[in-house]
Every structure is written in structure tokens, then in C-alpha cells.
Amino acid sequence: MRTLFTAGLAMLLASTALADVTIETAQGPETLPEMPAKVAALDLGVADTLMALGVTPAALPEKLFLDHLQPLAGSAAPVGTLQEPDLEQLAAVGPDLIVVANRTAVKRDAVEQVAPAIDMTVDGATLIEDAKARLSAFAALFGKEAEGEALIATLNDKLAGLSDAGRDKGNALVLLTNGPKMSAYGAGSRFGWIYEVTGMPQAGKPLDAKASHGDAVSHEFIAQTNPDWLFVLDRGAAIGADGPSAEATLDNELVRQTNAWKNGHVVYLPAGNVYLAPGGYTSLTETLDSLAAALAE
């Protein structure tokens, strides 16, 4: 009798282990084995969300950049860069699932030579919706539904508070600096979600929402646009590049004439979070906190 019970239990456990779950990805629904034992996260935003759920990836890009991701470095194997995953190192890990997104999405076909891969890209124009959807999908895949619901509840609270903070505060312009160069991003663009979450309209003329690198602008453009708020991302600081800081680039006689500068409304956002880990849970919530703190002053 004991032998039959043990055999039956083993069969039950085996059938449970082989259960499938269907999740939403950037390329549509994907059906995968539930709770993969080894996942390679080739995107920092993906790694960020998995970490928030309590899931430790088995493999990651070799450089994690963000302070809050550093605890993962000691437990995950480095498998190349964000631009170029190393297939040999990836194969040595033997992942059950590989997750690509955003910068690494173009490598999906290549990494699928090693293991099944899914694309969990988030779109800047719908980043908040996409971030919640990816979080829910990972929660379902790894049996972390309760944790996922709690994280989304916290995110919703922050979004509600931020919407109130931005009400009737004027217009805004999102800028990315890259050393001495500057680009502006409008509503519906890669960083357009910043206008959405603050409830603040974009200052000035419409900008090209499809330009992934934004519209190249000058100090004269900023002065003519005269935003009430400037939300600034420093690409150089995010990636550790040499060159003038965002503060140095913007410290210009023309920019000093704007409403944003005169009123102390030039806000330097955590650029690494926004630029390198779009949609990552901690990156996103830290950025929302920075916006809320600036608008509350």
C-alpha cells in the first residue's frame, strides 16, 4: 500500500511540475511550463521586476549598472552584455527560459538556439500598462500571484498620488542629455509616459513620437519653449560615460531665463532607472517617488 501511495504521489508531483501557464508577452500569448527552474533575464527591467517578485535569475548581463540590482550579481552568471549576449556562456547555464526585452529583443532568434525565449518589451507610450501586464505575467509564471497583486496595489497608490501632485502645476518638457547634446521627448514617445503619470501637458510644439532618440534640440529651443517644468535624464551618468553632466549642459544663459529654471523646477530624474530598466518595478517606483517629491515642493 505504501509503495502504491508513493508511486501515486510521485505521479502527482510530476504532473504538477509539467503544468503549463499562458502569459501575455510583447508578441502575444505564450504557453510555457509553469515555474521554470532557471531563467536568464537579458534585460535590466525584466531582472528588476523578477527581483521585486522574489525570483532570482540564473543568468544576467555582465554589467547591471543600477545599485538596487547589485545583490543579483553574486547569484547570477554573467552572460555577455545588453548589446551582445554570449551564447556559449548562456548555454553553460542551461536555462529553461530566456527573457529578452527592449534592447535585447532583437537577439531573440539568436538566443533561442540555447533555450525557449520570450519577448517582454515595454512600450514607452504605454509603459505603465505594459509594466503592470509584465508584472502580472511573471507572477503567474512563477506562482507569485499574491506578491504580484501586492506590488501592483503599491504601484497604483503611487500613481494616484502623483496624478494629484501634478494637477494645475503647468506644463513640462522631458529632456535627455548626452554630454553636451540634448534631445526632447514629447507625448506618446519613449519617455512620454512621464507626461501621462504627472498629468502635465507637454510644453511647446508637438514632437516626433516615433523618434527613439528624441528630437535634437538646443538651448534656444528650450528658451523659446519656456516650460514650467524640465524633467531631465542624464544618459552619460546612467551608463558611466565621460562628458559634461546634465547640470553643466543646462547651466546656460538661455535656459536660465525659462520659468522652469527661475522657479527651481528643473528635476533630474534617476536616469539609469528610466533609460536602462524601462518598466522594471523598483526602477519605476523609485522614479515615481522622485517625481512626486519634486512636485510636492
Can you tell me which residue has the cell 515642493? 297
Residue 18 has what pLDDT? 56
Confidence of residue 35 (pLDDT cuts 50, 70, 90): very high
CATH number belonging to the domain at 19-145, selected among 3.40.50.1980, 3.40.50.2000, 1.10.645.10, 1.10.600.10: 3.40.50.1980
- Joined grid coordinates for residue 240: 558611466
pLDDT at 210: 86
Instruction: Tell me what percent of the residues of the chain surpass a pLDDT of 70.
Output: 94
Per-residue model confidence as pLDDT tens digits over 210-255: 888 999 999 999 999 999 999 999 999 999 999 999 999 999 999 9
Average pLDDT over residues 174-198: 96
Residues of the chain within CATH 3.40.50.1980 domain(s) are 19-145, 161-296
pLDDT band at 136 (very low <50, low <70, confident <90, very high): very high
Cell of 273: 532607472
Q: In the prediction, which pLDDT does 7 show? A: 43
Mean pLDDT along residues 264-293: 98
pLDDT at 211: 86
Q: Give me the pLDDT at residue 116, please.
A: 97
* Residue environment code for 55-76, b if the CB has 16+ CB neighbours within 10 A, otherwise e: bebbbbbbebbbebbeebeeeb
Q: What is the pLDDT of residue 197?
A: 97
Query: Mean pLDDT across the stretch 167-179?
Result: 96
**For the segment 79-132, what is each residue's pLDDT rounded down to a tens digit?**
999 999 999 999 999 999 999 999 999 999 999 999 999 999 999 999 999 999
Of the candidates 38, 41, 56, the one whose C-alpha atom is nearest the C-alpha of residue 104 is 41
Residue 14: its pLDDT value, please?
Answer: 46
Q: Is 54 left (phi over 0), alpha (psi -120 to 50) or beta?
A: left
Q: In the block, which residue shows the cell 543600477?
A: 66
Class (C level, CATH) for 161-296: alpha beta
pLDDT band at 2 (very low <50, low <70, confident <90, very high): very low
Q: What is the mean pLDDT of the chain?
A: 93
State mean pLDDT over 56-74: 97
- In this predicted structure, what is the pLDDT of residue 180? 97
Could you give the 3-state DSSP secondary structure of residue 93?
A: helix
Question: Which residue's C-alpha cell is 508584472?
Answer: 135
